[in-house]
């Protein structure tokens, strides 16, 4: 296990140096094909868990160290061990012993320090928890600027948003309506001893996550993995049979597939990344769905648009992904305040570029997986001020009072924002 601790520490270090955790983990697993399924699962838990609670764990370590360690990896190794002591069910003496062994494998002289730090944490754990809880940044393990932006907009709801972002995400399924209903698929799962809960908007949440190849008829396209909040997009857009529909930022293709599952539409799916567009193609092929796929930039439609208007447009624009941090905890530490303003400018540019492609009386659904108002309501408000021919339609979703369309992360869904705009003339 000490080998896995060390590898997890390397992954955490890569993230804190600016790397993507998903990519780092997959690269590590490719480099170590000898890892058992148990080791692979442990590596994911230790790396994701340490990154998720990094701010809190770093506070603990700084309180326990008399001076900074010279070897950065040793510091990350202790953070991984602190995560295990604070959040795992493993026996404390085993965690400490493994961490000491891992440190000695790297430098024999560091074992004493690691042992002293971790033993001291065990003695002071209650005291350190109390001190960490006194500051929201270390209580919830988020950057201060992130908390400040949420507090300014959501007030007393902020704590619940922060807590939800630290929970393990549910495994949620979207049933292909062309194959069967969600209720019917729920019965199919039950026959395989898999329990699932039906939630809005016709999504199934598994009570126990399983590998996708265990899902009945997954390979045949009967079901896909998609968060319940993301499934609202196809419902809100309301594309009907015969309509020409644009999915302007289509990768990885979940929303494209959902639109095609719901109605016989003429779908054009655009993404500027050819590799990511391959994922759209694979998702559609699995469900035996057809669309025109174009590699192009949503902010520059003149380079790919054929001039034929669309009755519906889905603009699932690039964003901070602040609403999905429970799935991607590295986002908390990789984002900077300036990034939010940059995303907002990009979003406004895409919205302006796509609007001329919409037919009169057509509808455009603006979507993000963000909980920051600067990327959501403020972008829409600015657009509406400049476009008298645009009106925002009411969105009836479980949302924050005062900003219709804002879904906050909770036990059922990730955080999303939707705005449905109709072109009056």
Q: What's 242's domain CATH number?
A: 3.40.50.150
**Same domain for 275 and 387:** yes
Give, as one character, the DSSP assignment of residue 213: G
How many whole angstroms separate alpha carbon 165 and alpha carbon 326? 5
Tell whether 164 is covered by a domain. no
Residue 112 and residue 7 in one domain: yes
Q: Would you say residue 322 lies in a domain?
A: yes
Residues with catalytic function = 369
Whether residues 193 and 252 share a domain: the answer is: no
pLDDT digits (tens, 9 = 90+) for 315-355: 999 999 999 999 999 999 999 999 999 999 999 999 999 99
Same structural domain, 266 and 410: yes
According to the model, what pLDDT value does residue 402 have?
64
Do 390 and 267 reside in the same domain of the chain? yes
Checking if the pLDDT of 40 tops 90, the result is yes
pLDDT for residue 198 is more than 80: yes
CA distance 244 to 310: 5
**pLDDT (tens digit per residue) in 278-291:** 999 999 999 999 99
Chain position carrying tokens 């009411």: 394
Question: Any idea how long the chain is?
Answer: 425
Question: What tokens were used for 380?
Answer: 């829409």
Domain of residue 187, residue span:
171-225
99 lies in the same domain as 203: no
Evaluate whether residue 158 is within a structural domain.
Answer: no
Regarding whether 215 and 120 lie in a shared domain, the answer is no
Least confident range of 144-148, 254-258, 393-397: 393-397
- 221 and 238 assigned to the same domain: no
Number of neighbouring beta carbons within 10 Å of residue 179: 16
Segment 374-391, tens digit of pLDDT: 999 999 999 999 999 999
C-alpha dihedral (206, 211, 216, 222), degrees to nearest 10: 80
Does residue 111 belong to any structural domain of this protein?
A: yes
Residue 193 domain-assigned (yes or no):
yes
Residues 315, 247: Cα–Cα separation, whole Å? 6
- The pLDDT confidence band at residue 396, using thresholds 50, 70 and 90, is confident
In a domain, 368, yes or no: yes
Q: Could you give the number of structural domains in the chain?
A: 3
The domain that holds 126 is classified in CATH as 1.10.940.10
Q: Which of 20, 26, 9, 41 is nearest to 321 (CA)?
A: 20
Domain boundary among 225, 244, 267: 225
As a whole number of angstroms, the distance between CA 242 and CA 267 comes to: 10
Domain check: are 176 and 244 in the same one? no
For the chain, percent helix, then strand, then coil, each to nearest 5?
Answer: 50, 15, 35
Together in a domain, 175 and 304: no
Q: Does residue 159 belong to any structural domain of this protein? A: no
Question: What is the rounded CA–CA span in Å between residue 383 and residue 376?
Answer: 11
CATH number of the domain within which 213 lies: 3.30.70.1170
- Burial class for 399, CB neighbours closer than 10 Å (0-12, 13-18, 19+): middle
Domain boundary among 225, 260, 292: 225
Query: Within this chain, do residues 255 and 127 fall inside the same structural domain, yes or no?
Result: no
Per-residue pLDDT tens over the stretch 173-192? 999 999 999 999 999 999 99
pLDDT digits (tens, 9 = 90+) for 88-128: 999 999 999 999 999 999 999 999 999 999 999 999 999 99
Indicate whether 151 belongs to any domain. no
Own/partner long-range contacts of 103-107 (Cβ < 8 Å, ≥24 apart): 103/74, 103/77, 105/2, 105/6, 106/6, 106/71, 106/73, 106/74, 106/77, 107/71, 107/74
Contact 121, 128 (CB under 8 A): yes
């Amino acid at each position: 296990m000490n080998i896995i601790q060390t590898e997890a520490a390397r992954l955490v270090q890569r993230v804190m140096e600016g790397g993507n955790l998903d990519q780092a983990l997959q690269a590590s697993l490719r480099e170590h094909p000898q890892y058992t399924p148990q080791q692979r699962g442990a590596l994911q838990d230790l790396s994701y868990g340490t990154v998720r609670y990094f701010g809190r764990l770093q506070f603990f370590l700084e309180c326990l160290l008399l001076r900074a360690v010279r070897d950065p990896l040793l510091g990350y190794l202790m953070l991984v061990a602190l995560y295990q002591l604070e959040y795992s069910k493993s026996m404390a003496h085993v965690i400490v012993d493994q961490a000491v062994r891992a440190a000695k494998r790297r430098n024999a002289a560091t074992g004493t320090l690691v042992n002293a730090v971790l033993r001291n944490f065990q003695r002071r754990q209650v005291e350190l928890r109390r001190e960490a809880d006194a500051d929201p940044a270390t209580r919830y393990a988020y950057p201060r600027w992130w908390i400040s932006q949420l507090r300014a907009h959501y007030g007393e709801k902020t704590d619940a948003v922060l807590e939800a972002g630290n929970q393990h995400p549910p495994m949620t399924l979207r049933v292909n309506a062309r194959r069967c209903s969600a209720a019917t698929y729920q019965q199919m799962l039950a026959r395989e001893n898999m329990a699932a809960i039906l939630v809005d908007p016709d999504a199934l949440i598994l009570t126990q996550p399983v590998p996708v190849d265990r899902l009945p008829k997954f390979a045949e396209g009967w079901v896909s993995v998609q968060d319940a909040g993301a499934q609202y997009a196809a419902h809100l857009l309301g594309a009907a049979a015969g309509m020409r529909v644009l999915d302007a930022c289509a990768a990885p293709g979940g929303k494209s597939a959902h639109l095609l599952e719901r109605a016989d539409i003429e779908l054009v799916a655009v993404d500027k990344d050819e590799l990511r567009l391959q994922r759209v193609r694979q998702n559609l092929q699995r469900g035996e769905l057809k669309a025109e796929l174009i590699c192009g930039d949503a902010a520059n439609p003149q380079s790919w648009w054929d001039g034929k208007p669309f009755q519906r447009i889905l603009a699932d624009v690039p964003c901070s992904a602040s609403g999905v941090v429970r799935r991607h905890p590295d986002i908390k530490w990789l984002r900077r305040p300036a990034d939010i303003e940059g995303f907002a400018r990009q979003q406004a540019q895409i919205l302006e570029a796509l609007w001329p492609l919409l037919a009169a009386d057509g509808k455009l659904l603006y979507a993000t997986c963000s909980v920051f108002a600067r990327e959501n309501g403020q972008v829409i408000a600015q657009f509406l001020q400049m476009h008298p021919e645009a009106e925002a339609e009411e969105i009836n979703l479980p949302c924050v009072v005062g900003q219709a369309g804002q879904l906050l992360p909770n036990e059922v869904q990730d955080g999303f924002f939707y705005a449905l705009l109709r072109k009056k003339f």
